[in-house]
C-alpha cells in the first residue's frame, strides 16, 4: 500500500504524526504531507513539538512563536515558543496568588519558587504539550500534522498525558474529599463558592483538556503514527526498539517511510568506490527493513540532490512521498 492509498482508505484519520530519530526527515515529511493534503482542498495545520524545530527553515518563513501562520491556500504552520509559554505560566500563577490571597505584590520567597520551578528541564516539554492541547482542543482544521521530537523525547511527550492525568486525578480526588468539609463551612458562612471549589473546578478543567488530547493521540480511528527510518543498521535497531515502546503507550503505528535511499541503479554506472560501497551497504539493510517491517512500508524516498527548502522542493518531495498521486482522497 502507498501512503496516498492509506489516506484514501482511512478518511477518518485526521491526526498524523511523523516520528523517529533526529535528523532523518520527520520535519520534511510533515511539511510535505501537509502541503499534499492542502493541495487537495483540506484545511491543514502542521506544527512542531520539537524545541529545535526547523519548519521555519523548510518553509523559508519566520513562523517561530507567531501562532498559526498561513503558508498558502489551506496550509498553516506553527512553531511553539516554549519560553513565552513558560513566562505566561509564571504570570498566571502570580495572578492567581494575588487574587486568592489579596496580595498586591508576590513575596520574594514565592517568586523565587516560581522561577526555580520554571527552570526545571521538564518545563519546556510541559509548556509545549500544553500548547498542543490548546491547538487540538480548539479545532478548526481538517488535518493536524505533528512533527514530533526525536525518539526519547517523543516517548516522554507521549507519556505526559497519562502522567498528568494520574497526577490530576489524585489531586482532584483529595480536593473532592476536602470539599465535603468546606461545603459545610461555606453553608455556615453563607458563601456560595469556596476557594477549594475554584481550585477543584480548575483541576477538573485541566484534566478534561488533557484527556481529550491524549484520547486523540491513542485513537486508531483518528490518529496515525508513521516512523521515519533510513537504511542504516543503528537506525533500524533504534526504530525496532522504539516501535515496541510506543506500542506500550498504545500509539497507533500505521506504517514506515524509508528515507535517503541511494538508487541501486547507480551500480550500473561508473561511480566512486565509496558510493558503490554505500549502495551495497544500504542493499543489505533494505533487505532487513523489508523483513522487520513487512507489509507496512508505505513509501521509499531517495536521497535528494539538495536540501528540502521552499515550496518548490516541498512540492517535489510531496510528489515522491505520495507517488505523484492526484485527485481528492474520497
**Res 197: pLDDT:** 63
% of the chain exceeding 90 in pLDDT: 39
- pLDDT 10s digits, 172-231: 666 666 666 665 666 655 555 555 566 667 667 776 776 776 677 778 899 999 999 999
Average pLDDT, the chain: 81
- pLDDT 10s digits, 37-80: 999 999 999 988 776 668 999 999 999 888 899 999 999 999 88
Determine phi and psi for 198, rounding to 5 degrees: -65, -40
- pLDDT 10s digits, 283-312: 999 999 999 998 898 999 998 888 899 999
Residue 141: pLDDT band by 50, 70, 90 thresholds? very high
Higher pLDDT, 203 or 134: 134
Higher pLDDT, 224 or 150: 224
Q: How far is CA 316 from CA 36, 60, 70, 247, 319, in A?
A: 10, 16, 20, 32, 5
Report how far residue 255's alpha carbon sits from residue 223's, in angstroms, rounded to the nearest whole number: 12
- pLDDT 10s digits, 10-22: 999 999 988 888 8
% of the chain exceeding 70 in pLDDT: 75
**Res 125: pLDDT:** 67
User: Which of these, 152, 165, 97, lies nearest to 125 by C-alpha position?
Assistant: 152
Question: What's the pTM?
Answer: 0.79
**Res 37: pLDDT:** 96
- pLDDT 10s digits, 170-183: 666 666 666 666 65
- Strand partners for 45: 76, 144
Q: Nine-digit cell at 313?
A: 522542493
Query: What mean pLDDT comes out for the span 146-171?
Result: 65
Q: In what order do the strands lie in the sheet with 44-48?
A: 69-72, 75-79, 44-48, 143-147, 15-19, 223-229, 253-261, 297-302
Q: Nine-digit cell at 274?
A: 565509496
Identify the residue whose cell numbers are 520534511: 28
Higher pLDDT, 322 or 248: 322
Q: How far is CA 123 from CA 52, 115, 165, 208, in A?
A: 15, 11, 17, 21
| pLDDT surpassing 90 at residue 149 | no
Query: What mean pLDDT comes out for the span 110-136?
Result: 72
Residue 109: pLDDT band by 50, 70, 90 thresholds? confident
Residue 224 contacts residue 13 (beta carbons within 8 Å): yes
**Res 33: pLDDT:** 96
Higher pLDDT, 168 or 264: 264
Residue 56 contacts residue 64 (beta carbons within 8 Å): yes
Residue 134: pLDDT band by 50, 70, 90 thresholds? confident
Amino acid at each position: 500500500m502507498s501512503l496516498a492509498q492509506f489516506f484514501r482508505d482511512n478518511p477518518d484519520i485526521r491526526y498524523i504524526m511523523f516520528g523517529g530519530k533526529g535528523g532523518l526527515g520527520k520535519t520534511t515529511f510533515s511539511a510535505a504531507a501537509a502541503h499534499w493534503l492542502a493541495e487537495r482542498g483540506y484545511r491543514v495545520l502542521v506544527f512542531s513539538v520539537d524545541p529545535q524545530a526547523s519548519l521555519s527553515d523548510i518553509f523559508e518563513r519566520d513562523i517561530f512563536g507567531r501562532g498559526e501562520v498561513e503558508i498558502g491556500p489551506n496550509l498553516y504552520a506553527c512553531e511553539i515558543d516554549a519560553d513565552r509559554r513558560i513566562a505566561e505560566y509564571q504570570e498566571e500563577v502570580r495572578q492567581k496568588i494575588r487574587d486568592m490571597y489579596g496580595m498586591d505584590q508576590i513575596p520574594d520567597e514565592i517568586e523565587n519558587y516560581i522561577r526555580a520551578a520554571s527552570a526545571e528541564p521538564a518545563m519546556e516539554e510541559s509548556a509545549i504539550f500544553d500548547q498542543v492541547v490548546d491547538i487540538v482542543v480548539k479545532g478548526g482544521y481538517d488535518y493536524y500534522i505533528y512533527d514530533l521530537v526525536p525518539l526519547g523525547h517523543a516517548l516522554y511527550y507521549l507519556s505526559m498525558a497519562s502522567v498528568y492525568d494520574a497526577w490530576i486525578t489524585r489531586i482532584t480526588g483529595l480536593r473532592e474529599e476536602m470539599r465535603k468539609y468546606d461545603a459545610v463551612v461555606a453553608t455556615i458562612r453563607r458563601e456560595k463558592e469556596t476557594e477549594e471549589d475554584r481550585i477543584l473546578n480548575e483541576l477538573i478543567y485541566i484534566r478534561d483538556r488533557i484527556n481529550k488530547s491524549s484520547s486523540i493521540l491513542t485513537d486508531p480511528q483518528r490518529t496515525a503514527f508513521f516512523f521515519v527510518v533510513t537504511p542504516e543498521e543503528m537506525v533500524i535497531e533504534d526504530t525496532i526498539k522504539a516501535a515496541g515502546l510506543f506500542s506500550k503507550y498504545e500509539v497507533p503505528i500505521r506504517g514506515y517511510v524509508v528515507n535517503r535511499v541511494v538508487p541501486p541503479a547507480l551500480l550500473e554506472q561508473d561511480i566512486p568506490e565509496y558510493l558503490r560501497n554505500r549502495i551495497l551497504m544500504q542493499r543489505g539493510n533494505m533487505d532487513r527493513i523489508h523483513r522487520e517491517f513487512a507489509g507496512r512500508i508505505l513509501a521509499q524516498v531517495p536521497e535528494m540532490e539538495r536540501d528540502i527548502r521552499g515550496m518548490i522542493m516541498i512540492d517535489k518531495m510531496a510528489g515522491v512521498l505520495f507517488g505523484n498521486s492526484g485527485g481528492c482522497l474520497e
